[in-house]
Amino acid sequence: MKRVGLVLLLGLVLGGVYLLANTGKLALVSGSVLKQKSFTLEYTAFYTGCQHEERKEECHSPRTRNELLEKLTNEGWVITSFTSERVGLEKEETKLCPGCQEQEFIGIYGNEIGVYAGSPEKPGPLKQVIPVNISRLPKAEIEDLRAGIVCRGAQEKWRILEGYQN
Ligand SMILES: [Zn+2]
pLDDT tens digits for range 62-96:
899 999 999 999 999 999 999 989 999 999 999 99
What are the structural domain ranges in the chain?
Answer: 37-97, 103-162
Angle ∠(45,46,51) on CA atoms, nearest 5:
150
Average pLDDT over residues 26-52: 76
CA of 73 to the centre of ligand 1 (A): 24
CA of 58 to the centre of ligand 1 (A): 21
Helices (H) and strands (E) in the chain, counts: 5, 8
Backbone torsions φ then ψ of 95, nearest 5 degrees: -105, -170
What pLDDT is attached to residue 130? 95
pLDDT, averaged across the chain: 86
CA of 91 to the centre of ligand 1 (A): 15
CA of 150 to the centre of ligand 1 (A): 15
The matching CATH number, chosen from 3.40.1260.10, 3.10.20.420, 3.20.20.70, 2.40.30.10, for 37-97 is 3.10.20.420
Average pLDDT over residues 50-59: 96
CA of 70 to the centre of ligand 1 (A): 28
The residue that leads in pLDDT, 101 or 27, is 101
CA of 118 to the centre of ligand 1 (A): 6
Average pLDDT over residues 97-118: 96
Backbone torsions φ then ψ of 37, nearest 5 degrees: -80, 170
- pTM to 2 decimals? 0.68
